[in-house]
Amino acid sequence: MIIVNIIIQCPWRKFENKEDIKSWITKNYLPDEGPDIDKFREYNFNIAKKHGNEYFSMTFIKPNTIVLTQKYYDWTEYNNMLMIRKKTLDFLIENGFLIQVSEPLETFYDKI
């Protein structure tokens, strides 16, 4: 399994909780449905359908930061998303967001 974290900060706005920031970003920047769905999110939704929603999580750090933890089954799944992730993150940076991406971590889990 390949694990990566993405830290996204919105320095010009404050939020009360994870749902506030998530819905605001979805509404204003990264749609998660319809013809304009963000391709990075669409790719990750498909991974979640294939392996389970626990492959993706979001942590909120008050007042304006989220940490996205994303898991990919193998290097192929991870490498297949790199170009669409870059496009999405570049778009957010162009719109004033601060972004940090961790190096990928390869780990092995036994299913219980």
pLDDT digits (tens, 9 = 90+) for 23-77: 999 999 999 888 889 999 999 999 999 998 999 999 999 999 999 999 999 999 9
Assigned domain for 86 exists:
yes
CATH code for the domain of 100: 3.30.70
Which residues are registered as beta bridge partners of 65? 9, 61
Nearest to 52 by CA among 70, 75, 79: 70
Q: Which domain holds residue 35?
A: 2-106
Say how many domains are in the chain.
1
What are the strands, taking DSSP E only, across 37-93? 56-61, 65-72
Assigned domain for 100 exists:
yes
For the chain, percent of residues with pLDDT exceeding 90: 88
Give the global pTM: 0.90
